[in-house]
Amino acid sequence: MDFLSYSLFWKGFLSAFFIALSTSMVGVFLLIKRLSMLGAGLSHATFGGIAIAIVLDLEPITFAVLYTVLLGLLIQFLVEKKSLPADTVVALFFSLGVAMAIVVLGITDNLGTNVFSYLFGSMLTVSENDLLLSVLIFAISLLFISLNYRGLLLLSFNEEIARLRGVRVRLLNYSLIAIASANVALSIKAVGLVLSASFISIPAMTSLLVSSSFLQGIFLSVSFSFLSISSGIALSLLFDLPPSGAVVGSMVILFAVVSLSKFIKRKSLGSP
């Protein structure tokens, strides 16, 4: 537990903490809009951006955030203008990003341990720049949701009604995707692109199992995300486990516990 005194640990923990809170808020809206797989698609597509940054000797996470935001906006444009199913477009960029990364890194002989830290996450390599970026994205996400809550609520359930109520549907859609994309890119540093989609989907899924209102769902999603981060990192320190796997494992366990408790409660009340 002396490890807690190291600044490397605290930078990694705080960065993961802010990322988890931010993604859990945004994840509720994406889940309602049936875009939960956007996180998985964008995280793997981001691998191509990270490969480009490594080859060009750029700061990988900062470049990845900008790259992923542009990809997210392009996905939204294709879905909106070309009337393509969202899952089809996401799958296309998913495959393209991974293929591009493998080709670029293979040609330049950069398939080393540094690349694997982005595949599986490495909280101990979080820099001060990464931490500041995490705080900034968290603040932007919180401000965006606070200022546009009613519009996002209508948008999530029915875009036509939102338009009739005067909501700027197109602007909100693009803004939501851009913020979600930035959050996905940042979560790669904490848990890797293999598991980053979990930050978007699992806390939101858990909260929607038990919440009685949309606002309560957001608060519960944030709470479950915080609990998973804290318990996951504690388990990784106590049992010498990889933090990324321990954190996401905690999210899955929490989801299973909430699901089971809801099932037991429903059976005890005689519901089908």
- Angle 242-226-189 (CA atoms, 0-180°, nearest 5)? 45
Q: pTM (2 decimals)? A: 0.85
The pLDDT-based confidence of 106 (bands split at 50, 70, 90) is confident
Contact 30, 8 (CB under 8 A): no
208 pLDDT above the threshold of 80: yes
30 pLDDT above the threshold of 80: yes
Distance CA(88)–CA(93), nearest Å, equals 9
The position carrying tokens 């490495």 is 122
pLDDT for residue 270: 63
Distance CA(180)–CA(185), nearest Å, equals 9
Distance CA(34)–CA(24), nearest Å, equals 15
Q: What type of residue is 266?
A: R
Residue 128 CB-density burial (10 A; 0-12 exposed, 13-18 middle, 19+ buried): exposed
> Which residues, 6 or more positions from 36, have their beta carbon under 8 angstroms from its beta carbon?
27, 30, 197, 200, 201, 204, 205
pLDDT for residue 2: 53
Phi, then psi, of 57 in degrees rounded to 5: 60, 45
Question: How many alpha carbons fall within 13 Å on the CB side of residue 104?
Answer: 17
- Angle 28-34-38 (CA atoms, 0-180°, nearest 5)? 85
Q: Answer whether CATH 3.40.228.10 is correct for domain 2-195.
A: no
pLDDT for residue 256: 94
257 pLDDT above the threshold of 90: yes
Contact 54, 117 (CB under 8 A): no
The position carrying tokens 């546009």 is 148
pLDDT for residue 248: 87
As a whole number, the mean pLDDT across the chain is 83
Q: What is the DSSP letter of 2?
A: G
110 pLDDT above the threshold of 70: no
Phi, then psi, of 6 in degrees rounded to 5: -80, 135
Contact 44, 94 (CB under 8 A): yes
Q: Where are the domains of the chain?
A: 2-195
pLDDT for residue 253: 94
DSSP for 149-170?
HHHHHHHHH-HHHHHHTT--HH
